[in-house]
Amino acid sequence: MTRWLPRAYLALVYLALYIPIAVLVVFSFNDGRTGYRWGGFTWRWYEALFTNDAMMQALWNSLWLAVSAATLSTLIGALTALALHRYRFRGKKALKGMLFVVMMSPEIVLAISLLSLFLLVGVQLGYFSLLLAHVTFCLPFVVITVMARLSGFDESLPEAARDLGASDFTMTRTVLLPVIMPALLAGWLLGFTLSLDDVVVSTFVSGPGYEILPLRIYSMVRVGLKPEVNALGSLLLVFSLLMLVLSQWILMRSKR
Amino acid sequence: MLRGLRQPFRTGVLLLVWTWLLALVLAPNLLVIGASFLTRDPGTFLSLPVTLENYRNLLDPLYLEVFLHSLYMASITTLVCLLIGYPFAWALSRVAKDRQLLLIFLLIVPFWTNSLVRTYALKLLMATNGLINTGLMELGLIDGPLRMLYTEGAVIVGLVYLLLPFMILPLYSVFDDLRRELLMASHDLGAGRFRTFIHVVIPLTLPGVLAGVMLVLLPAMGLFFVPDILGGSRNLLVGNVIKNQFLDARNWPFGAAAAIMLTLAMALLLFTHRLSQRRLGEEGDV
């Protein structure tokens, strides 16, 4: 079999995946007025973005939500992973099952189930409802990341710590925490990105008082083509890419 | 003394985790199941009596048509992903190991970037005054713009674009495990390339195919923003129906019934997947 054919095929698929993204970024600098012809380089769409107060408010709301959701889900997710790894308790399978359900069920099902809960219990739709929802869908990813790290962990270390008289809490803080730190960072970054990019769940559980970026983009792109969206989309792409590179770098470095 | 110090930490952790999952995973899911058997109420969203009406309404020709069309588009999406992804995963597994990491990284980058933005990027390409039409007209290949946006094809392209990595990754993992000695053994026993492919490669990669199908087929029916951006009002997905029932028509019971059908379909696929894995396992570790 020829060697170049598979490679050419790989290259072709990668091109198809990346061309739309590249076009988006290139055209965010396009000064053309009509259609999608190149009309010279400009920063003006980025300027329009940064001087748009509602847009900046949505950006800050999104970032704050992503930071708080990532932090909370990392905390709860890490504790869940520790519990699953170390403790024997009744219903362990059920616990794993529920995390699996969150990961596998279609996003839209999670979205409507949370919306029903919030409205029936009386949780006002806004920052708090978004936070609860985002933490919930980030949780399984953090748990998996931390569990993977724990599974390669030398069991004799916590035993030794305990033999030396350390309490469970002290042992966790001084022995386990340093070991799982890279997984915590990677999990946090993953949660941050998932939260920042979520459209489906947020569409359902957000309220008029707390507008976030993906929903603002959604309402803009349904109508037509908007150059500001090119600029905003490009910024988000660059941002997500940085996050991804950072998290992979942390994980790779910790493996050495 | 030591145990006394240990217990509060353990109790606290377990309490927190259980509370969260019971309140925000189990309870809401039970709520949706319950809602699907109740009656619509404009004021309180839900009311008695208990009824099967919502499930019967799913069979209403109007909705049935939407569901079947949605299933059709999702199936074509899955098939296209499989046709592109299968050879792709094979080719990827043959690349030198150190380069594979980079290539896989490049594959998951899109998964991390905003799917809404990427769908919008496709719109830039496919619009009437978009890049493809402008380019083709400038080259003189077509006289007027082609109508690409707001078609069934546009929705399928959008879904394939968003979901392809989910097909490729499980396929890649089975191809990566596929031992080359097996292919050589098949060759030595006199099988040609075609027979080796049918009798060795396909059965061994089947779990990956099923996993990929699972990760593409059902999400493809839920991504309501793809038809919203690319498909117009005639190419709706089940996701659009659920969203309309919950956010616009305020008919929770019916929306819940539609969501449960989607979940049941997922469960069925998972079950098939488990079953096939067990069967493959029983056939002996090759």
User: Number of CB pairs < 8 Å for A and B?
Assistant: 228
Residue B36 DSSP one-character state: T
**Which position has the token pair 């007027």?**
B144
Question: Is A169 or A102 the better-scoring residue by pLDDT?
Answer: A102
Query: Could you tell me the pLDDT band of residue A36, with boundaries at 50, 70 and 90?
Result: low
Q: Is A241 on the interface with B (CB under 8 A)?
A: yes
Q: Is A102 helix (H, G, I), strand (E, B) or coil?
A: helix
Nearest CA distance, B55 vs chain A (angstrom): 16
- In the prediction, which pLDDT does B2 show? 43
CA A141 to chain centre: 9
- In the prediction, which pLDDT does B14 show? 86
**First-to-last C-alpha distance (Å) of chain B:** 53
Which among A189, A191, A190, A213 has a CA at the least distance from the CA of A202?
A213
Distance CA B286, CA B284 (A): 6
- The nearest alpha carbon in chain B to A106 belongs to B219
- In the prediction, which pLDDT does B281 show? 61
Q: Which residues of B touch A139 (CB under 8 A)?
A: 20
Residue B90 in contact with residue B175, Cβ under 8 Å?
A: yes
Q: Which residues of A touch B21 (CB under 8 A)?
A: 95, 98-99
Mean pLDDT calculated for residue range A179-189: 85
What element of type H or E holds A32? none
- In the prediction, which pLDDT does A166 show? 75
Which sign does the torsion angle of CA A159, A160, A164, A166 carry? negative
Distance CA B88, CA A8 (A): 10
Per residue in B252-264, pLDDT tens?
A: 888 888 888 888 8
CA B125 to chain centre: 24
Q: Is A238 on the interface with B (CB under 8 A)?
A: no
> ipTM of the assembly?
0.82
- Quick check: A71 pLDDT over 90? yes
Which among A101, A104, A125 has a CA at the least distance from the CA of A202?
A125
Per residue in A72-127, pLDDT tens?
A: 999 999 988 888 887 778 888 888 888 888 887 888 889 999 998 998 888 888 89
CA A28 to chain centre: 24
- In the prediction, which pLDDT does A2 show? 66
- In the prediction, which pLDDT does B3 show? 46
- In the prediction, which pLDDT does B284 show? 45
Per residue in A156-167, pLDDT tens?
A: 777 787 788 777
- Give chain B's residues under pLDDT 70: 1-7, 42-47, 280-286
- In the prediction, which pLDDT does B193 show? 74
Which among A141, A107, A127 has a CA at the least distance from the CA of A62?
A127
- Quick check: A38 pLDDT over 90? no
- Number of C-beta neighbours around residue A43 at 10 A: 12
Question: Is A250 or A34 the better-scoring residue by pLDDT?
Answer: A250
CB contact under 8 A, B2 and A165: yes
- The nearest alpha carbon in chain B to A243 belongs to B112
